Amino acid sequence: MLEQLLKNKNIVFTDPGDDTALYQGGLGLDSLDTAEFSVLLEKDFGHDPYSNGRFPRTIGDVVAYYVSNAS
């Protein structure tokens, strides 16, 4: 999901690590990208950190959300 979102923004996906920032200083997602990312996560997993009141700052934060909410 994240790879396709970055590709649509013409950002080369170079296998960032868990500590890579999603926003400024990292992948550069803006508010529209974040909304799209949230929708994609919701669609694929049935829930997402943004809709649950969390605002992940790194790729690892997103992964940790799903690990801690695994069902």
Residue with the bigger pLDDT between 10 and 22: it is 22
Domain total of the chain: 1
Question: What pLDDT digit, counting tens, does each position of 23-48 carry?
Answer: 988 898 999 999 999 999 999 999 99
How far is the C-alpha of 32 from the C-alpha of 36, rounded, in Å?
A: 6
Residue 40 in tokens: 């994609």
Q: Tell me whether residue 41 is exposed, middle or buried, using C-beta atoms within 10 angstroms of its C-beta: 0 to 12, 13 to 18, 19 or more.
A: buried
Query: What single DSSP character describes residue 11?
Result: -
Domain of residue 39, residue span: 2-10+19-68
